[in-house]
Structure 1
Amino acid sequence: MLDLLLVTTGVLLALAFAGGLVYLYVQDVTQERHAVLRNFPLVGHLRYLFESLGEYFRQYFFLGDRDEMPFDRATRSWVYRMAKNQGGIIGFGSTYRIHEAGALVFVNAPFPVLDEEQRPTPPLPIGEGYCRTPFSGRSLVNVSAMSFGAISRPAVQALSRGAAAAGCWLDTGEGGLSPYHLEGGCDIIFQIGTAKYGVRDASGQLSDQRLRELAAHECVRAFEIKLSQGAKPGKGGVLLSNKVTREIADIRGIPLGKDSLSPNRHRDVANIDQLLDQVEHVRATTGKPVGVKAGRCQDRDRRQRLHGRAHGGHRAPRSARRTRLPDHRWWRGRQWCGATGAGRPHGPVDRRSAAAGGRCTDRQRPQATDSPDRSRQAGDSGSGCVGTRSRCRFRQHGTRLHVFARLHPGSALSRQHLPDWGHYA
């Protein structure tokens, strides 16, 4: 009896397996979505199985420690060790590819200064003499723009506390100012994106009341107007309704549970004159420095027109010319493709903006302005060209790289410490 039961069970399982194969075969030859399955029914499923496993095989068996992007295994391992207080000391050299374009390399000094001879990094005054509450940058390295919502609450809290401990500033990104940015007490640069998140009224326009409320926070040291919309090159951004939680809606000033659309540029900024008017308006409303962040790919003639119109033309009084200048400028490069985690078309992402390496033409030599002090205050924050003013004698200032982010404006160093104007990374 037991043998009969086992045989019956085996026959039923075989019939079920055969029936499943027949059903899968019929489904493969009749479906119209996958040519591989239609031409190679049943065995074609092995291709998709191996494709799904290929990512893990490449990561753990075939790729080297320096082959992945944007952060390779060696970099991630270093971050993990530092986060766990296990130390970042390694021996027997490094696998870092120092000969690739854009590689950041610190060269040895033949006669380094002693610890007692080091001097602190000189602060960079921003907006001094041109706004009610100027800001003094203290660090050469700062935390770049990453929006709350694109990164999580613990991430923003960690960056805020780390920036405060390092003495550097933290950029909010275009997602608005969250309570977690303020927890650490660090200096904050508030970014005004095309959707005006955090500083918009009910109709989506720039709100002077919200600007004054944000400027009332002592930690908010400056504002920056971000041109275009970084997540979607040439298009706007879409924040889907299922991601618009109550917390996100309150911080960004948008309706709860509805899609939020970011235009591909500021609706009230269609040319350089309107941009400079916007800079003046935000500065007058907040009393704090206001800068501009733009893509590094813009042509040099356009930057020269921006510089010329910022002076109000040759017929404008000198005082009117200087007040139109942005207090700081960011030239954004391509580096790690920005727009944290945002979905965007593959083709434009591979080819947008300018590469992070190479020479930055608008920092070849000091730009002539009506005020030498103003030219230093309105320094370029060349995020797309790390180390553009190379061979700077950082050793005289005992510089420490606190946060792996974008460099503070090179203008923080006085000119006697920048002897080699013609050399670039």
Structure 2
Amino acid sequence: MISVSEAKKILQDNLILGRTILADLDKASGSVLSEDIFSPIDIPFFNNSAMDGYAICWQKDNNQRTLLSQSKSKAGDMQELVLGENEAIRIFTGAPVPSGADTIIPQEYVKIKEGQLIFDSEKFRKGANFRGKGAQNKAGDLIAKKGSHISPGMIGLLASVGISLVPIHAAPTVGIILTGDELEEAGNPLGFGKVYDANGPVMKSYLQNLGVKEIQIGKAIDEPEKLQEKINEYLGNYDVLILSGGISVGDYDYVKEGLRQAGVQELFYKVKQKPGKPLFVGQNKNKWIFALPGNPASTLTCFNQYVKPCIEAWMGKTDIWKPSGSYPLADNFEKTTGLTFFLKAKLENEKVIILPGQESFNLISYGAANCIAEVGEEVESLEAGTIVKVYNW
């Protein structure tokens, strides 16, 4: 049995990076760039006006320009106008600046008298309100670095240079096998000795929040041959295989042996933590295999601490092991030493409230919890105000 830090070190040393795909820009938000992005064009693509006003060629000693009212430049115009000597052309925001013009005088500073443009040149300088071609970036400039998170702002940047497809690390496909004869789906009548399955919906929701699209959930009864068939099938079809239950040492816990027979290389088995001690993690042909304890709190804890970071790394994310933050405890807390505790908690008013109902089977606190609090294995008691790490769902 290894410590939490040892388990995470093993996973860090064996991270798998997903393949690169080209994703539609409007579906790439939240992903990570797998390659540098260089602009294919100058931005602005042409000289344009930052204001509604009048385009002129700057001559500081002459405050008047002949107004050619018959010539106007508006956004979207395809024909380039040419500014004549001592002329001014009406122009609108975003419109192409006529050839020969280098300054835009906003309309609110202009008076028109007898066909002449009148303004106070002392209030302006050459180049005012003129957006030059390539002022933001030149064609070929690096505009987004590999490994960058694709935010809505980056979507706007990439769209502005005409990019419609972006290289990202593809999300893994995930197969989930729920083990146990006792499981029943919500919506069906619950017979004596049965329990409704919570782990499947929990993990599917979590995976969807991480950006995983292809998720298949199957069940395996407590028979070694049937379980082996399911493991072999899912291992062949999915990038990540997650099993829930059957990984402890009971008479009907067949998962570990089934994974061994399927050729899964064990990275570790059992972690000094509560809940979720009988956790198995392995790999096979560049695939992840996680066998999680079946109790719901154990499943969610192991998913949050181990499965989630490995999937994020697969999709190109970094800093995957960092807690969401560190905050003071609201109340005193006591535990036994020797195990790291991961506790259902609520972060409220910048304080961590450890919720009641910490048993592995107990789901009542799930409804109120918004994070998991970590208390190290060597700790026996903590006073209110002690800083602890928390991990958001």
Instruction: Give the TM-score of the pair, scaled to structure 1.
Output: 0.22
Of the two, which has the highest radius of gyration?
2
- Write 1 or 2 for the structure with the bigger share of strand: 2
- Write 1 or 2 for the structure with the bigger share of helix: 1
